[in-house]
Structures are given as C-alpha cells and as structure tokens.
C-alpha cells in the first residue's frame, strides 16, 4: 500500500467519521489525490463511506449504522452543544434554545435528528412544554469525549443559525 494511503487510513482510524474535505485539509492532499486513495481504500474494504447530512463521512470497518449516525451528529456544532448542555440533566426546550442562542426551529431540527439516533428523549409536562434529556448519558459522555466537530461543520451550523435568526427577526 502506498505511503499516502497508509497515512489516510491511519487518519480515518484515529478520526472516525471525518468527511473528505476535512481529510484532504488535515493531510494536505489535493481533491483528486484524496478521491483516488479513498476509492482504492473503499474497494479494498479498508474504509466505509457513509452519506449523512449532506456529507460523506469515512470510517474504518466495524462501526455499525447506529454508531456512524451518532458520530456524524456529534461532529455537528449545534447538535454537540445540545448534548453537552443535557449532560447536566433534563432541560426545557425553550430554555435550552435561549441558552444556546439558537432559533427554536434550529434546536428542533437538531433535536429531531438526536431523537432519531436515540441520544435524546423528549417529554411534555402538564402544560404541554417540551423537556429534553439524554437517553443514554454515559454513552453520550463517551461519544463527546472522542469526537470534535470540524471547522466546516461549525461554519455550516453558524450560517444556519444566522439564516434562522434573520427569518425569525
């Protein structure tokens, strides 16, 4: 195997769920060069490509669908902020949106994805207000300790927040 493919494979193992542009940036590989080596690694069964949320995330073999979903979510800045905020316990959704300084529609979008991945639970109180909590706090703690959002994801989330603020304003 070429030195470039070995470096790429080692990086994917160390940073599961990275997307192609982050891999190219972090390893200083041109887009065509990166695509070529990723294609070769995929054909050899050395990496798995998983399309989620408009990006292709790369994983070493062995991650199941649920794990890939959760890692892709934890790489998103806003989804990650929701998970971190809920580590301290159940929170009213409206309060959480205010604390995170995100539009309620943005919070709702991310919470829906987190609920689908069985990371967040939602309940309504006697007045119909939504309260959020972590489904599996220890699993979430472990996930957050191993995954950091990438710059591209942070920028995309910040742009979404800006647009939501303009629409609500």
Average pLDDT, the chain: 88
Residues 85 and 162 in one domain: yes
Contact present, 152 and 22 (Cβ < 8 Å): yes
Residues 19 and 47 in one domain: yes
Query: Does the pLDDT at position 161 exceed 50?
Result: no
Residues 12 and 28 in one domain: yes
**Mean pLDDT calculated for residue range 123-129:** 95
CATH of the domain at 130: 1.10.10.10
Percent of the chain with pLDDT over 70: 87
Alpha-carbon distance values, 69 to 92, 95, 98, 115, 129 (Å): 25, 26, 26, 11, 28
Q: List the domain range (segments joined by +) for residue 59.
A: 3-63
Query: Does the pLDDT at position 169 exceed 50?
Result: yes
pLDDT value of residue 1: 75
Domain boundary among 46, 63, 80: 63
Lowest mean pLDDT among 3-7, 130-134, 153-157: 153-157
d(C-alpha 80, C-alpha 137), whole Å? 13
Over residues 7-63, the pLDDT tens digits come to 999 999 999 999 898 899 999 999 999 999 999 999 999 999 999 888 899 999 999
pLDDT value of residue 147: 83
């Amino acid at each position: 195997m070429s030195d470039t493919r070995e470096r790429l494979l080692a990086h994917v193992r160390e940073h599961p769920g990275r997307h192609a542009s982050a891999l190219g940036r972090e390893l200083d590989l041109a887009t065509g060069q990166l695509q070529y080596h990723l294609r070769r690694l995929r054909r050899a069964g050395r990496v798995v490509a998983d399309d989620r949320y408009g990006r292709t995330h790369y994983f070493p073999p062995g991650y199941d669908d649920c794990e890939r979903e959760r890692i892709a979510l934890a790489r998103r800045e806003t989804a990650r902020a929701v998970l971190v905020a809920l580590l301290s316990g159940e929170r009213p959704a409206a309060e959480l949106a205010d604390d995170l300084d995100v539009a309620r529609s943005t919070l709702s979008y991310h919470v829906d994805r987190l609920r689908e991945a069985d990371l967040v639970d939602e309940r309504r109180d006697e007045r119909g207000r939504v309260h959020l909590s972590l489904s599996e706090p220890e699993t979430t703690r472990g996930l957050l300790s191993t995954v950091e959002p990438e710059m591209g994801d942070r920028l995309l989330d910040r742009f979404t927040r800006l647009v939501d603020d303009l629409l609500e304003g």
